[in-house]
Amino acid sequence: MTSSVTISEVGPRDGLQSVDAVMPTAAKKAWIKAEAEAGVSEIEVGSFVPPSLLPQMADTGDIVAYAKTLPGLDVVALIPNLKGAERAIAAGVDKMSIPFSMSETHSIKNVRKDHPAMLAEIKAIADLVAAQPEGQRPHFEVGLSTAFGCTIEGPVSEDQVARLAEAAMAAGVAEVGLSDTTGYANPAQVTRMVRQIKGVIGSDKLNTLHLHNTRGLGLANVMAGLAEGITTFDASLGGLGGCPFAPGASGNIVTEDLVFMLEAMGIETGINLDKLLKVREIIAEALPGEPLYGFTPDAGLPLGFAKAAA
């Protein structure tokens, strides 16, 4: 099991896209700054989607520009297509990710493209990245969404996920990540899927899991991922988030609970948990009445808590 992991905060994108209210730009900046100062080294700050579809993301360009001024922070954005990639590159993101749904029905619902069309789009984006001057090429990752099941189609073939992961790599991406968009995954499935995908594309090309806690298995699935060498886990402060195009898919892993578990186990995250817990105040003030989740924030840290010896 790895001795250190990267926690990628996805709340400013995945969390806020599922909230009806639009968080003010100033509050987003305060949130991102506070998390960076708490030691979070990677934050997905927004998505370059048309504001008509997700008005919550209309200020992503401004947010990226601000986040780029924060020292030591890798700035990530989600992109839906080539046009979004062009905007993300122009904004100067360090990393961009495109969701590639393993459920073709969900893909059509989410981005209006079937699998062949998505692979063509991914290749066009990879070619665009390769055409950028050296040192200005963002890390381009494909998130294999609905990889563990779909609220529209139901079960998704694991062989199909492996085949599409291989096709995405062949299109020129840097790596793929596995996304439990709908909260269907269980630990045995995570173990099986990670092994199968790594066996097809190489162990160094799958490093990230995006897990939901919809049915209470989020942290258990993290443990399965850790055992298979996964080194980056997406999480959302206060558990904000879900997919607006996957009915019932609520509940990102709570960043605070994930950090507590890892630090208690002696796995280094680089995050100051006391500082992280205070960031919730920014969200609560900016989104009054919005439910925030997490056992660690509610219970507090145990008396004498310190990171366990590795």
Q: Which DSSP symbol is given to 2?
A: -
Answer yes or no: 150 catalytic.
no
CA distance 78 to 13: 8
CA distance 25 to 27: 5
> What are the CA-CA distances from residue 175 to residues 107, 117, 205, 232 (Å)?
19, 19, 5, 12
Which of 193, 243, 253, 271 is an active site residue?
A: 243
Backbone phi and psi for residue 64, each to the nearest 5 degrees, phi listed first? -60, -45
Backbone phi and psi for residue 109, each to the nearest 5 degrees, phi listed first? -70, -40
CA distance 246 to 241: 12
Closest by Cα among 291, 151, 262, 144 to 210: 144
Closest by Cα among 292, 286, 289, 293 to 22: 286
Q: Which residue has the tokens 């934050």?
A: 43
Active site residues: 243
